[in-house]
């Protein structure tokens, strides 16, 4: 491979993406508008919460604990989701899926029974403590929830008319958990990076089909240029464009209130993932260009690769199982872990995602190159 050839072809590719309005739109303007539109629609400028969602872990499973849960959900300001274990509940709290977590202790029912067996002799009661975790980031939640829960504990124990009398069940001091405050936009932002990269398929399919139809590929082929130089320069150019694209989305999403919980290494991995996805989509584009024979058909057929990646693997979640079939899913998943869950950049989940995307990328790109250089010429 000659540097001079690669650089000339890369420059040509970049000029194509900047000078052809349709491509300029897809690579740079579309991500900008996308981020802006979704940011305005779903970002922090939008809705405030009206009910608190409470995660409940029932370690007791008695009639009393059921009654307590019924009272919680009857309260109009709370919506309840049950968890089997404390770990999951607290991690959902950390990720902002619930506002607080209530733990009903194993001796909850026993304690209630002991109270009613002898309501006036506190020394005969079994004491129990209901533990509470709240989101420390939200002043409203951390202040409003404990009294509400306290009230419902008493309501459960005494019935409707309760008074502030001694009782066996205490509400533990609210444990403050550092939770993120996410808007819907925050959940969408990781998908946006993948979303924009997916359209590389269309650009590659169209431009290769066009270059073939106009005889340009043949013309280049009668110079000392090799197919690997053509494809490498395409990858170079699209990598550069992807870096610009990702930066635009970061900046726009930042303006829209998106604050990724990650460090430099996390951003680096995010870039790498998007680049791998772009390369993978270059492979899809080459496969498309092999199948079709006109640029118009290329546009249509490229959606065979674009739509599944879009609907199964970006911010439009349909099914997680089906998502595993498309590379964009793993990119979105990794970016979500990085940006929203604050997962360490080199944690296992992320590295597995990087690995899977790399494997996708390698296989698809190799298939694309082989097909295109074998059958995609004339």
Partner 1 sequence: MKSNGINVQNLVKKFSSITAVDDLSFTVNAGELFGLLGPNGAGKTTTINILIGLLKPTSGKAVVGGYDVLKDARHLRSIIGVCPQEPAYYTYLTGQENVELFGNLHHMPKNILKNRAQDLIEKIGLGEDAKRKAGDYSGGMIRRISLVMALINDPDIAFLDEPTVAMDPQSRRAVWQFIRDLKTQGKTVILTTHYIEEAEALCDRVGIIDNGKLIALNTPKALLAEHNVENLEEVFIKITGRKIREEV
If the CB atoms of residues 176 and 377 are measured against partner 1, the closer one turns out to be: 377
H helices of the chain, where?
Answer: 3-19, 21-24, 30-42, 63-74, 86-94, 108-117, 139-158, 184-198, 200-213, 216-221, 227-255, 264-291, 295-313, 320-323, 327-339, 348-375
The rounded distance, in Å, linking the Cα atoms of 34 and 336 is 18
- Least distance (Å) from partner 1 to the CB of residue 230? 10
> Is there binding between residue 29 and partner 1 (CB under 8 A)?
no
If the CB atoms of residues 161 and 378 are measured against partner 1, the closer one turns out to be: 378
Extract the tokens encoding 31: 């991500």
If the CB atoms of residues 348 and 378 are measured against partner 1, the closer one turns out to be: 378
- Least distance (Å) from partner 1 to the CB of residue 23? 9
Interacting residue with partner 1 among 20, 144, 244, 362 (CB under 8 A): 20
- Residue burial 138-150, b: 16+ Cβ < 10 Å; e: rest: beebbebbbebbe
Interacting residue with partner 1 among 61, 70, 143, 214 (CB under 8 A): 214
Pairing of strands 52-58, 169-171: unpaired
The rounded distance, in Å, linking the Cα atoms of 58 and 108 is 9
Residue 164 in 3-state DSSP?
Answer: coil
Site for partner 1 in 219-278 (CB under 8 A): 219-225
**Stretch of 211-219, 298-306, 328-336, 351-359 contacting partner 1, by CB under 8 A:** 211-219
- Least distance (Å) from partner 1 to the CB of residue 9? 8
> Is there binding between residue 16 and partner 1 (CB under 8 A)?
yes
Contact of 303 with 284, CB cutoff 8 Å: no
**Stretch of 8-16, 42-50, 294-302, 312-320 contacting partner 1, by CB under 8 A:** 8-16
> Is there binding between residue 75 and partner 1 (CB under 8 A)?
no
Residue ranges that bind partner 1, judged by CB under 8 A: 2, 4-5, 7-9, 12, 15-16, 19-20, 214-216, 218-225
């Amino acid at each position: 491979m000659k540097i001079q050839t690669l650089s000339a072809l890369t420059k040509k590719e970049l000029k194509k993406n900047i000078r052809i309005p349709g491509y300029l739109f897809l690579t740079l303007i579309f991500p900008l508008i996308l981020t802006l539109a979704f940011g305005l629609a779903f970002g922090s400028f939008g809705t405030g919460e009206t009910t608190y969602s409470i995660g409940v872990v029932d370690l007791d499973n008695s009639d009393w604990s059921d009654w307590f849960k019924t009272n919680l959900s009857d309260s109009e300001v709370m919506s309840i989701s049950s968890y089997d274990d404390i770990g999951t509940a607290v991690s959902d709290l950390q990720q902002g899926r619930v506002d607080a977590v209530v733990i009903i202790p194993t001796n909850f029912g026993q304690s209630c029974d002991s109270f009613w067996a002898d309501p006036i002799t506190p020394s005969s009661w079994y004491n129990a403590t209901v533990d509470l975790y709240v989101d420390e980031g939200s002043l409203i939640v951390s202040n409003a929830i404990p009294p509400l829960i306290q009230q419902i504990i008493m309501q459960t124990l005494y019935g409707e008319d309760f008074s502030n009398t001694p009782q066996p069940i205490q509400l533990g001091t609210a444990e403050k958990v550092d939770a993120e405050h996410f808007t819907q936009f925050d959940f969408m932002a990781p998908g946006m990076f993948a979303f924009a990269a997916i359209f590389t398929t269309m650009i590659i399919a169209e431009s290769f089909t066009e270059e073939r139809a106009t005889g340009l590929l043949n013309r280049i082929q009668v110079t000392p240029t090799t197919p690997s130089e053509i494809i490498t320069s395409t990858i170079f150019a699209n990598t550069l464009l992807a870096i610009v694209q990702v930066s635009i989305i970061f900046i726009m999403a930042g303006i829209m209130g998106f604050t990724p919980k990650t460090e430099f290494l996390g951003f680096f991995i995010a870039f790498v993932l998007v680049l791998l996805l772009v390369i993978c989509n270059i492979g899809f584009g080459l496969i498309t260009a092999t199948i079709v024979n006109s640029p118009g058909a290329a546009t249509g057929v490229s959606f065979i690769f674009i739509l599944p990646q879009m609907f199964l693997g970006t911010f439009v979640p349909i099914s997680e199982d089906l998502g595993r079939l498309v590379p964009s899913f793993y990119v979105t998943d990794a970016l979500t872990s990085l940006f929203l869950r604050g997962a360490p950049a080199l944690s296992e989940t992320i590295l597995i995602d990087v690995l899977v995307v790399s494997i996708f990328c390698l296989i698809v790109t190799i298939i694309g190159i082989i097909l295109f250089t074998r059958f995609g010429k004339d």
